[in-house]
Amino acid sequence: MELVKQRILQDGQVKEGGVLKGDSFLNHQMDVAFLEEIGREFRRRFAGCQVDRILTIEASGIAVGSVVALEFACPLVFAKKSKTKNIAGDVYKTQVASFTHGTTYDVMVSKRFLTPEDRVLIVDDFLAVGNALRGLIDLVRQSGATLVGCGTVIEKGYQHGGDQLRAEGVRVESLAIVESMDHTTGQICFRD
């Protein structure tokens, strides 16, 4: 999607260690009009797929998930990174290693919010090595729900997480795929 590529080139920051910061428009400070366009694009890409749940992971996936849920007129469910008193009853639980934070989280979703009757679209802001998506896919499988696919705003293609998931038969739609970045020059190249 050209709009996402343009925004990355305009406002993205390339940091050492393969980090691309989109925090000025995507996940710390959010450009809501931009997010609305993202929601519409995911609706277009997954048109014809019955979707009745959007699933993401806290925290930075919630904004993207919200606009996508609005487009599909369905609930957004987000996997929590820690159990709280607000999560009553049984949960589906898995572990997710965070590339960005360098730590592993137990993530969970209440069994009340994912059922075998659900058709789930997973969304997130970034896809690097694919750990977050794999964890969310595991939660969907535990619930017996049907996975419609996964949508990410920015995929780091050079880390191959998306390629591996696609090779395993998972439908992954990324709005922009970064093929390479150079933190010394700030240059970003995209996959066509």
Burial code (b: 16+ CB inside 10 Å, e: under 16) for 164-186 equals ebeeeebebbbbbbbeebeeeee
User: How confident is the prediction along the chain (192 residues), in pLDDT tens digits per residue?
Assistant: 999 999 999 998 899 888 888 888 988 888 999 999 999 999 999 999 999 999 999 888 999 999 999 999 999 999 998 766 666 569 999 999 876 677 888 899 999 999 999 999 999 999 999 999 999 999 999 999 999 999 999 999 999 999 999 999 999 999 999 999 999 998 999 998
Q: What is the pLDDT of residue 100?
A: 67
* HSE-CB for 68 with a 13 A CA cutoff: 32
Q: What is the pLDDT of residue 84?
A: 65
Strand 103-110 and strand 91-98: the pairing is antiparallel
- Backbone φ and ψ for 71, nearest 5 degrees, come out as -65, -35
User: pTM of the full predicted structure?
Assistant: 0.93
Q: What is the pLDDT of residue 174?
A: 98
pLDDT one-digit tens code per residue, 125-156: 999 999 999 999 999 999 999 999 999 999 99
Q: What is the pLDDT of residue 85?
A: 62
Q: Is 127:154 a contact under the CB 8 Å cutoff?
A: yes
Cα–Cα distances in angstroms (integers) from residue 183 to residues 18, 64, 125, 151, 176, in the given order: 8, 26, 21, 26, 19
Give the rounded distance of the alpha carbon of 120 from its chain centre.
Answer: 13
Q: What is the pLDDT of residue 93?
A: 94
